[in-house]
Amino acid sequence: MSPLRQALVGYLQIRRALGYKLERAEKLLLQYLEYLDARRADTVTIETAVAWASLPAAGKDGHWWALRLSAVRGFARYLHALDPSHEVPPPDLLPDRSHRAIPYLYSTEELLALIAATRTLRGELRQATYRTLIGLLTVTGMRVGEAIRLDRADVDLHHAIVTVRDTKFGKSRELPVHPSTVKALRSYLRLRDRLLPEPACEAALLSAAGTRLRYCNVHSTFRELRRSAGLEPRSPACRPRIHDIRHTFAVQTLLGWYRAGVEVQPRLPLLSTYLGHVHPKDTYWYLTAAPELLQLAADRLERSQGDAS
């Protein structure tokens, strides 16, 4: 193993001990090291980092170029601390000029239309799996990756708790669910056990082949469901994505609190924990996601200022 590859192993071990997964970063850095090997280079330089990050094979997507260079930059900082001959690409090289997508906040009718659209899928189990997946995302706000990583043992119907393990930041959390969700999960598990009594894996949500759902297949199936449900983009930057079901859950929770007249600020850490956010700022972002939320917050602020005067 070359010195750079040995250093990469150490770098990944340290970062993962801090809770980072770095699955994509590892793949990208291995590709960069292959690029260096082909040029018989044993030192990270700004020139090779930028040249690799902006290869034509990467396309002309500035966001993708910035992502590739960012992966190298983190590794280069680690290497530079050990050996100053390694160069760290400055942050202003290949900057990410992309803008965060505007969340597509689903109405109740749109979510029901997505669930109804699962009837157009082929196969009874596939229909039930995607009906359950969309329903579970709607009532828990969990990430798609978290839902498809659920094992059968993570669904505790007796205590009405779904345990999310191996999350985006390496932490686990328990999500209490409503009795109606327990009923739906129990119905799905009975159906899948009848159709596939000996599945090929321990996943709670199964594909028609009895295997764990794959992320790319979930997204392609969701596009199919979105078309069947008749959901169209509201603007070029606001398109219906499956991840927006999580955004909708967060915003609806905040709206419910505002409408109930409760103090939202002290409850935000609870929502942050439930969603699995590491930084509260990630939850605060949802406050700007819906005009109705901003109006409710502004109305409350105006009332509080009026009471103080």
Structure tokens at 252: 């609806």
- Among 31-40, 65-74, 146-155, 261-270, which is the least confidently predicted range? 261-270
Burial class for 241, CB neighbours closer than 10 Å (0-12, 13-18, 19+): middle
- Please state the domain extents for the chain: 3-82, 108-228, 244-308
State the distance between the two ends of the chain, measured CA to CA, in whole angstroms: 71
Q: Is there a contact between 257 and 271 (Cβ–Cβ < 8 Å)? A: no
243 is catalytic: yes
What pairs with residue 176 in β-bridges? 161
Q: Mapping DSSP to helix (H, G, I), strand (E, B) and coil, where does residue 162 land?
A: strand
pLDDT one-digit tens code per residue, 231-262: 999 888 789 999 999 989 988 888 888 888 88
For the sheet containing 161-164, what is the strand order? 155-156, 161-164, 173-176
More confident site: 152 or 308: 152
According to the per-residue pLDDT averaged within each range, which of 161-170, 214-223, 287-296 is highest? 214-223
**pLDDT at 15 (0 to 100):** 85
In this prediction, residue 6 carries a pLDDT of: 94
Question: Containing H/E element for 155?
Answer: strand 155-156
* Percent of residues, the chain, with pLDDT higher than 90: 61
Chain Cα centroid distance, residue 150: 14
Of the chain, the percentage scoring pLDDT greater than 70 comes to 85
pLDDT bracket for residue 270 (50, 70, 90): confident
Q: For the chain, give the mean pLDDT.
A: 87
Q: What pLDDT shows up at residue 289?
A: 60
pLDDT at 303: 60
- Work out the average pLDDT over 180-193: 97
pTM exceeds 0.75 for this model: no
Taking a C-beta distance cutoff of 8 angstroms, is the pair 175, 157 a contact?
Answer: no
Q: Which residue among 168, 219, 239, 241 is the active-site one?
A: 168
Q: Is pLDDT larger for residue 166 or for residue 244?
A: 244
Number of H helices, E strands in the chain: 13, 3
Active-site residue identified among 165, 243, 258, 300: 243
39 catalytic, yes or no?
no
The predicted structure's pLDDT at residue 277: 80
Tens of pLDDT, residue by residue over 114-165, are 999 999 999 999 999 999 999 999 999 999 999 999 999 999 999 999 999 8
pLDDT, residue 169, reads 61
Read off the pLDDT band of 309 (50, 70, 90).
very low
CATH 1.10.443.10 describes domain 108-228: yes
Higher pLDDT, 264 or 295: 264
Q: Which residue has the higher pLDDT, 250 or 181?
A: 181
Task: Identify the active-site residue in 32, 106, 130, 286.
Answer: 286
Token pair recorded at residue 133: 């997946």
pLDDT digit string, tens, across residues 70-87: 999 999 999 999 999 999
- Taking 90 as the threshold, does the pLDDT of residue 283 lie above it? no
What's the pLDDT score for residue 64?
82
**From 143, 171, 183, 281, the catalytic residue:** 143
Active site residue 246: yes
Tell me, rounded to whole angstroms, the distance of Cα 221 from its chain centroid: 17
State yes or no: is 277 an active-site residue.
Answer: yes
pLDDT of residue 12: 92
- Residue 255 sits at φ, ψ, to 5 deg, of -60, -40
Task: Determine if residue 94 is left, alpha or beta; phi over 0 gives left, psi from -120 to 50 gives alpha, anything else beta.
Answer: left
The one catalytic residue among 86, 131, 246, 247: 246
Q: Of 142, 145, 146, 157, whose CA–CA distance to 193 is shortest?
A: 157
pLDDT, residue 271, reads 85
